[in-house]
Amino acid sequence: MNHHLIESTISSEFVYQGDFLHVKHDKVRLPNGQTSTREHIIHPGAVVIIPLLENGEILLERQYRYPLGQVFIEFPAGKLDPGETVLACGKRELLEETGYTAQEWAYAGKMHLAIAYTNEVIHIYFAKGLTAGERKLDHEEFLDVFSAEPSQILAWSKDGSITDAKTLTCALWLQNYLSGSWPLDWVTNS
Amino acid sequence: MNHHLIESTISSEFVYQGDFLHVKHDKVRLPNGQTSTREHIIHPGAVVIIPLLENGEILLERQYRYPLGQVFIEFPAGKLDPGETVLACGKRELLEETGYTAQEWAYAGKMHLAIAYTNEVIHIYFAKGLTAGERKLDHEEFLDVFSAEPSQILAWSKDGSITDAKTLTCALWLQNYLSGSWPLDWVTNS
């Protein structure tokens, strides 16, 4: 039923292979039979974590994002390592960036970040039963960890204090999980 | 108060200038004084529209997204043309992609799409007082227009039928606007 929408690959080549960004330039056949080009980024995928503290607050980060030249309020997140499972990535990133470990995890869903030009997917996990510890930041990573009430996170989402799309998507999950509309299946660490 | 987070530019150069993607590779100074590199995409910015039909349904699109090889459910959206205002872009994209014009517009807020590697910002508008007309798709653009109840959009956001981050962020706005929690200032077309 989607034949009138689908584009097919004629040829594909890497035009830039950087330390982080891997850019492809493809020749494609459009649904009407004509040809065009598509430029897109190959990304390993990532995980974002919504950490629920015992006191009802949510763990967040403040991090400088160079492409925009400003500090953003974000949920903890990071890229998948080669061969790493999504849950293992979530546990590793939460520990590295915040120092916290979690007793229970629940998979919420996934989002695609910039569907016009990257294949990046971000898997969304909730974490609870949190215990604080030492964080292990990458030597090139600088970020603050703090916590806030869910109502504060929603107020910040409305007033423009939070504009990161992955964090706003997590705010949608947080609001509907806490209201009881979107229940989760929790799994306890073995 | 953010000095311990901020990175500064030492040098910056374009490493790939494609038809659409413009990639920069920068040398930066980290907060601890060491140097590193940052790769990032320069993007013109975009507008997404949440169009409210008179019957309570919301206008949506189905579009094939080449980087992910699948059809996505999305709100109408598009990139800013050079010198174009955000509202003019919203009106143009709504008309081009769906054929609809709107009598009233309300600016909701903005989101940043992939803050690790692009400066893309998407401005969010609500539109109402909609009138159907002829759409004017770009000759390389193929998409279906349809409408759905807000409750259906939220169900799709939960069950994974909607995974586009800009559309999920709009679902957060839609839910809170319709509940009365996040009121908007409507402006009538002059």
Q: How confident is the model at residue B63 (pLDDT cuts 50, 70, 90)?
A: very high
pLDDT digits (tens, 9 = 90+) for A114-141: 999 999 999 999 999 999 999 888 888 8
The nearest alpha carbon in chain A to B113 belongs to A165
Residue-averaged pLDDT of chain B: 96
Question: Mind telling me how many Å the CA of B188 is from chain A's nearest CA?
Answer: 22
- Give the number of beta-carbon pairs within 8 Å between A and B: 200
> Which chain B positions have a beta carbon within 8 Å of A140's beta carbon?
30, 34, 36
Classify strands A70-74 and A8-17 as parallel, antiparallel or unpaired. unpaired
Residue pair A90/A127 in contact by the 8 Å Cβ criterion: yes
Mean pLDDT of A88-97: 97
pLDDT digits (tens, 9 = 90+) for A138-148: 888 899 999 99
Q: What is the ipTM of this complex?
A: 0.97
pLDDT of residue B124: 98
Q: What are B101's two structure tokens? A: 């014009």
Q: Which of A136-145, B9-18, B101-110, B181-190 has the lowest mean pLDDT?
A: A136-145
Mean pLDDT of B42-62: 98
Residue pair A165/A127 in contact by the 8 Å Cβ criterion: no
pLDDT of residue A45: 97
Q: Model-level pTM?
A: 0.97
Query: Which residues 79-108 of B have a C-beta within 8 angstroms of A?
Result: none
C-alpha span between B123 and B107 (Å, rounded): 8
Contact B18 A21 (CB under 8 A): no
With vertex at residue B122, the alpha carbon angle to CA B77 and CA B10, rounded to the nearest 5 degrees, is 135
**Phi and psi torsions of B98, nearest 5°:** -120, -20
Q: A65 and chain B: CB distance < 8 Å anywhere?
A: yes
Model confidence at A69: pLDDT above 80: yes
* Structural domains in chain B plus CATH codes: 8-41 (no CATH), 46-188 (3.90.79.10)
User: H-type helices in A8-85, by residue range?
Assistant: none
Percent of chain A clearing pLDDT 90 (strictly above): 93
Q: Hey, CA dihedral for B128, B132, B133, B137, is it positive or negative? A: positive
pLDDT of residue B140: 84
Residue pair A122/A89 in contact by the 8 Å Cβ criterion: no
User: H-type helices in chain A, by residue range?
Assistant: 86-98, 150-159, 165-178
Q: Hey, how many other C-beta atoms are within 10 angstroms of the C-beta on B32? A: 9
C-alpha span between B105 and B126 (Å, rounded): 6
The nearest alpha carbon in chain A to B151 belongs to A181
Determine whether B141 is an active site residue. yes
Contact A114 B114 (CB under 8 A): yes
Question: Mind telling me how many Å the CA of A67 is from chain B's nearest CA?
Answer: 5
pLDDT of residue B102: 98
pLDDT digits (tens, 9 = 90+) for B87-135: 999 999 999 999 999 999 999 999 999 999 999 999 999 999 999 999 8
pLDDT of residue B141: 86
pLDDT of residue A140: 84
Q: B29 and chain A: CB distance < 8 Å anywhere?
A: no
pLDDT digits (tens, 9 = 90+) for A19-42: 999 999 999 999 999 999 999 999
Classify strands B8-17 and B22-29 as parallel, antiparallel or unpaired. antiparallel
pLDDT of residue A34: 95
C-alpha span between A43 and A118 (Å, rounded): 7
Q: Report the length, in residues, of chain B.
A: 190
